[in-house]
Amino acid sequence: MHELHYSEEVRQALDNQQPIVGLETAVVTHGLPYPTNVELAQAMENLIREEGAVPATVGVLGGKAQVGMNSADIQLLAQDRDVIKVSRRDFSRAAVKKLNGGTTVAGSITALHKAGIQVFATGGIGGVHRNAPNDVSADLYTMAQTPVIVVCAGAKSILDLPATLETLETLSVPVVGYQTSTFPAFYARSSGLPVTTQVEEPEDAALLARAHWAMGVNSAVLLAVPAPLEDALPDKAMSEAVDQALKDAKKHKIRGQDVTPFLLNRVSELTGKSSMKANLGLLLNNARIAARVAVELSRI
């Protein structure tokens, strides 16, 4: 059985039943340039502590799944050119080959659930790709069987959002809008698509999750938080950039696992610094909201 390794801070928090928020590392290893990636990871952890919770950044070091990382660990992942992306299926590969890895949403919540941690913050989840209905992120299927609150800014705008929401419905994952009645579209505050239900406060989100799991449903609760108004991209600018990026991907015959990194990078190029500002803003905001939810969950 794959063993988890814990930082001292996380181990103590688990022993003392303190509120904990899990964080991914794929955004560090594959999502952002250095040193912005390291600065963001540390800023998210600090925000979580300020809100009264303990951060548990998940990653793989030398093949070992780690829950809770220090600054040296994060630096190592950020600068390792051979680092892999670890989804749910990849822990065994990393373990056998003793690789370093940044965990995706699916990889992170798999480890967090095993550790007994119920709240996780990320940027945007994966989903169903446009014009490729069989290309579906493992994030969705992992959420279907992992009882964790996933705090995000919706799904990445490059995806087929209606199909993604339909799949979440099929998988019994409630999509809960945090102070919004529509599903956020990552950099943009709204996709115009309705959520399952809406909550106004962190306590409401915690109560909803408890009620969901009390029925014996072992799926995640997706808490969708719009990007902060001052950081979000206008819907029209976002839509135009995504359409152009999709055309470029088709032109260059980008396929499989290369599609998402290509599209995100191309959207970033087309929108200049605006998408980076939106990305950092929403990640920090999600960490803050997740910490508040974790605090409320620990009180119930």
Read off the pLDDT of each residue in 269-297 and give the average, rounded to a whole number. 94
Return the sign of the alpha-carbon dihedral for residues 134, 121, 117, 217. Answer: negative
| Residues paired with 57 in a beta bridge | 23
What does the pLDDT read at residue 272? 81
Read off the pLDDT of each residue in 107-128 and give the average, rounded to a whole number. 97
261 confidence band (pLDDT: 50, 70, 90)? confident
Put residue 199 in one of left, alpha, beta given phi > 0 → left and psi -120 to 50 → alpha.
beta
Read off the pLDDT of each residue in 254-278 and give the average, rounded to a whole number. 83
Q: Which residue would you say has higher pLDDT here, 65 or 234? A: 65
* Alpha carbon 49 to chain centroid, angstroms: 19
- CB–CB of 27/122 below 8 Å? yes
Domains in the chain, start-ordered, CATH in brackets? 1-117 (3.40.1790.10), 125-294 (3.40.1790.10)
Strand-strand pairing, 149-152 and 119-121 = parallel
* pLDDT(133) > 50: yes
Judge whether 24 counts as a catalytic residue. Answer: yes
Please give the torsion angle defined by the CA atoms of residues 262, 263, 265 and 271, in that order, rounded to the nearest 10 degrees.
160
* pLDDT(48) > 60: yes
Give φ, ψ of 13 to 5 degrees: -60, -40
Catalytic one among 9, 51, 156, 296? 156
HSE (CB half, 13 Å, CA atoms) of 46? 7
* pLDDT(260) > 80: no
Looking at residue 27, the DSSP 8-state letter turns out to be: I
What does the pLDDT read at residue 116? 98
Looking at residue 68, the DSSP 8-state letter turns out to be: S
- CB–CB of 79/113 below 8 Å? no
The chain-wide mean pLDDT, for the chain, equals 94
Token reading at 177: 């809008």
Strand runs (DSSP E) across the chain, as ranges?
4-6, 20-23, 54-61, 64-67, 84-86, 101-103, 119-121, 128-129, 132-136, 149-152, 175-178, 197-199, 221-224
Alpha helices in 85-201 (DSSP H): 91-97, 105-115, 138-143, 161-170
What does the pLDDT read at residue 2? 66
**pTM tops 0.85:** yes
Judge whether 269 counts as a catalytic residue. Answer: no
* pLDDT(103) > 90: yes
Read off the pLDDT of each residue in 127-148 and give the average, rounded to a whole number. 93
Residue that the structure tokens 């040296």 belong to = 72
What does the pLDDT read at residue 236? 84
Token reading at 181: 């009645």
Q: Which residue would you say has higher pLDDT here, 150 or 274? A: 150
What does the pLDDT read at residue 1? 41
Alpha helices in 82-233 (DSSP H): 91-97, 105-115, 138-143, 161-170, 202-214
pLDDT in tens, 159-207: 999 999 999 999 999 999 999 999 999 999 999 999 999 999 999 999 9
* pLDDT(148) > 70: yes
Residue that the structure tokens 């209606």 belong to = 162
HSE (CB half, 13 Å, CA atoms) of 65? 24
- CB–CB of 98/63 below 8 Å? yes
pLDDT in tens, 194-248: 999 999 999 999 999 999 999 999 999 999 999 999 999 988 888 898 889 889 9
The Cα 284–Cα 55 span in angstroms is 13
Catalytic one among 24, 45, 51, 296? 24
Angle between helices 202-214 and 273-299 (to 10 degrees): 60
Of 17-31, 36-50, 61-75, 250-264, least confident by mean pLDDT is 250-264
Strand-strand pairing, 119-121 and 20-23 = parallel
% of the chain at pLDDT higher than 70? 99
pLDDT in tens, 267-277: 888 988 788 89
What does the pLDDT read at residue 175? 98
